[in-house]
Chain A
Amino acid sequence: MPEYTDDELVLLFRDAAKRHYAFNLLVRKHQEKIYYFVRRMVVDHDDADDVVQNIFIKVWNNLDSFREDSKLFTWLYRIAVNESLSFLKSKQLRSYLSLSSPEAMMVKSLRDDNYFDGTEIQRRLREAIIRLPKKQQLVFNMRYYDNVSYEQMSEILSTSVGALKASYHFAVKKIEDFVTAN
């Protein structure tokens, strides 16, 4: 499969005759990173699949109006963040109906996840991350797993670099305490 830069993919997408081809390449280029980012947030594979599809459908609907004042991947990440948070919010509302806390539901999902074959300590790490506040989770996942720079993160989350660094620092502390505690 030919390798195109993100800018080239955007140009290709704007050609009506090559739109589907460009979109296919774009999905294949970014799907893994987006999938794992979402999966870490929503835990369950089937939920992650739904959210990822929604993300790329939004990309299809809005790529024409992508202004290119930010990088494509930053824009994609921003959509992924919004979709993941919307999904978690709706899940949270459903958890109120079932009289259990959202956190408890996520931990239960994690323990029941059939698509996880990591070690016990890896499971504890995931549990520690799930227990963080949502925005702190985002910051930690992007920095720890995806090595996203604070400047890029600042663009994605519309938060200052200083606040992001502080958030990451506290997240690391909490996770370390949880993982090493038991």
Chain B
Amino acid sequence: MKLKQYISNPPSDKEKLPSVLEELKKEVQGLKIPDGYFDSLSPRIVDRIKKQENRTFIKSIILAFRKPLVWAPVMATLVVAVLLIFMIPAKKASTIPVTDEWTELNMAYDASYAEEVFLAESHSIDKEIESKDINYSEPVSLTGQNGPTTEEIAKYLKEHEFDADLLNEY
């Protein structure tokens, strides 16, 4: 009841305070602060604002990545890259061994051995060639002893009316 009364008939602005409160109002309140507190307050606030702005920037990047339009293509690219690297089988080297197993073993210990072997082999090949009297004009069987001779091939081509240039090769 009293509260309603006061709200409808509020005391004037120049309300009178009890003497004890009037006296206390004049005094310093006794609230201490650390030395230089107000001088350092503004720079500390600005520092916090800068940290907040950095966090906001990082957060905005993270939030952008949460959108499917952004992360889906990135993930798809990563998956494809991984598949390309690990799933495609490596090509096997199809080489004919140049040297035999024994030579290879020795090459592992002494590389100069390989060179010697190579020279020795090429020397023996040269000798073989020198000893043989090879007539390059004679017809040579291209496919081995049981295969058709060049004359047979030429005859075949002629019968089947192949191009003259092709005949001249034989």
- Which single member of A60, A122, A162 contacts B27 (CB below 8 Å)? A122
Given contacts A115-B32, A122-B29, contact A162 B45 (CB under 8 A): no
Give CA–CA (A144, B29) in the complex, Å. 12
Q: What are 26 of the A-B contact pairs (CB < 8 Å)?
A: A20-B46, A28-B38, A35-B38, A39-B31, A53-B44, A53-B45, A56-B45, A115-B31, A115-B32, A116-B32, A118-B28, A121-B24, A144-B21, A145-B29, A149-B13, A162-B8, A165-B6, A165-B10, A165-B11, A166-B6, A166-B10, A169-B11, A172-B18, A176-B18, A176-B20, A179-B21
Who on chain B is nearest to A144 by CB?
A: B25
Contact bitstring A98-124, B, C-beta under 8 A = 1, else 0: 000000000000000001111101110
B134 within 8 A of A: no
Q: Answer yes or no: A23 CB below 8 A from chain B CBs.
A: yes
In the complex, are the beta carbons of B48 and A57 less than 8 A apart? yes
Are A32 and B38 CB-contacts (below 8 A) given A53-B45, A166-B10, A172-B17?
yes
* CA of A52 to CA of B108, assembled, Å: 78
Q: Is the CB of B7 within 8 A of A52?
A: no
In the assembled complex, the Cα of A169 lies from the Cα of B11 at a distance in Å of 8
A132 adjacent to chain B (CB < 8 Å): no
Whether A118 pairs with B45 at a CB distance below 8 angstroms is no
Say yes or no: is A161 at the interface (Cβ < 8 Å to chain B): yes
A165 CA / B29 CA spacing, docked (Å): 24
A24 within 8 A of B: yes
**A168 in contact with B15 (CB, 8 Å):** yes
Interface size on B, residues (CB 8 A): 32
Q: Let me know if A150 and B13 touch, CB within 8 A.
A: yes
A-contacting residues, B67-124, CB 8 Å: none
**Interchain CA distance A23-B41 in the complex, whole Å:** 12
A118-B15 Cα distance, complex, nearest whole Å: 26
The 5 closest A-B pairs by CB, nearest first: A118-B30, A166-B6, A165-B10, A162-B7, A115-B32
Residue A93 at the chain B interface, CB threshold 8 Å: no
A45-B33, A169-B11, A176-B21 known; A31 vs B49 contact (CB < 8 Å): no
